[in-house]
Amino acid sequence: MTGPDPDLSFRMNHDDRARSAFIVGLKKKANLGIAATLESRFNDVIAPALQQKLGRSLNDTDRDDRKTVVNALEHEQLYRVWAHMTYLSQGQKWELVDQILQNEMPRLQAAADHYFNLPSKLCTLTLNPDLKVPANIAKTEIHRQPGGFCAETHGSDITAGAKYNFGATMGPSAGRGRTGFKRGRSAGDFVAETIKARYPDLKPLRILEVGCGTGRNTPSYKRQFPEAEVIAIDCAPGLLRWACAFAESQGAGVHFMQMDATALDFADGSFDLVVSHILGHEMTTRGLPQMIAESWRVLKPGGVMFHADVAIQPGHINLFDQALNQWQVRYNGEPFWMGWADADVPNLMREIGIPDAAAFAEYMSSSERGGEWLCYGARKPKST
């Protein structure tokens, strides 16, 4: 008798692959084709007309100007075509994911259960049924993922994590023509390698990843810092179960815990390194500074906090792209997108009490993958 198939990768038949390629192609047509044509019209016709009407130049960092641009674009047929195509392709993505998972979930759940029930597990998973999950996660279908991140039907359900992980293969990066990291690598490797280069004396023995989601980046920290104890937290149980099974499949011993990043259950000065990936743009304007403050609180003197997130800040991207992002807030499951974009991250760190000399907020890119992140954080002075 053969044992369970421990493969957590997704298997698509010919028709599934064809539909997936079509959806990614549709996203590329919207983002690289129609949006580019619309931007040219904006630069050549719409913006000059607005500036003539206003009697001044448009300002990329002015919120009122952003509203003016949004209002102007909403009257453009090409904008409405882009919006419809973007909305439609996102819905088609989740329809395909749900369809494939109808067949795949029994196998994937069995694979996860296999890792959960290994007699000598490398990973641990601690869930907190009493945790009050923040409403921005518990009651929001982020990315329009059906059921959101916290939907579950039984005590070992990995469906939310499976949906998120599979949906990411047809997500914004693919729809903008960006390539993924090389096989076996992730954004966690990029962050870890950046930290090593920036702080060569840092030898972390305890690492915390906040908002780990499905754990795609988490095993990288165990690979990059093999002597360290790695703890990863998230508030969504289905994401954590998937993350734990995935890390076990990668041979990376990680302790996963259900916890709110804005109220960590760790003592002051517990970690040498605290990291996160694309977490800030899923947080409320109140939750973001709380998360940063908690990350700073649990750092040991001499420890490093390093967060990487989407680079969509006004002034870094132009008014046209900001207007398209504003649409994502209202219609495409990114309700906190512009709150993150408008956040003054350096000032938030300053208000928390992080010394300016210790802090950084920089745009960084990976030549391996393309695209940029806003990376921010600080090193805690050893004298504190």
Instruction: Return the axis-axis angle of helices 237-249 and 77-116, rounded to nearest 10°.
Output: 60
Q: Is residue 249 part of a domain?
A: yes
Closest CA to 87 of 34, 166, 140, 27: 27
In this predicted structure, what is the pLDDT of residue 32? 93
Query: DSSP string spanning 19-65?
Result: HHHHHHHHHHIIIIIIHHHHHHHIIIIIHHHHHHHHTS---TT-HHH
Q: Is residue 73 part of a domain?
A: no
In this predicted structure, what is the pLDDT of residue 1? 40
In this predicted structure, what is the pLDDT of residue 296? 98
What pTM did the predictor assign?
0.94
| Residue ranges of the chain whose pLDDT lies below 70 | 1-4, 174-181, 384
Closest CA to 344 of 329, 361, 330: 361
Number of domains in the chain: 1
In this predicted structure, what is the pLDDT of residue 178? 63
In this predicted structure, what is the pLDDT of residue 118? 94
Q: Is residue 191 part of a domain?
A: yes
In this predicted structure, what is the pLDDT of residue 34? 97
Q: Where are the beta strands (DSSP E) in the chain?
A: 124-126, 206-210, 229-234, 254-258, 271-277, 299-310, 359-365, 372-379
Q: Is residue 178 part of a domain?
A: yes
In this predicted structure, what is the pLDDT of residue 171? 76
Q: Give yes or no for a contact between 364 and 311, defined as CB atoms under 8 angstroms apart.
A: no
Q: Is residue 234 part of a domain?
A: yes
* CATH code, 366: 3.40.50.150
Q: Is residue 165 part of a domain?
A: yes
Q: Is residue 1 part of a domain?
A: no
In DSSP terms, 314 is beta-bridged to 317
Q: Is residue 272 part of a domain?
A: yes
Give the residue numbers spanning the domain of 274: 108-384
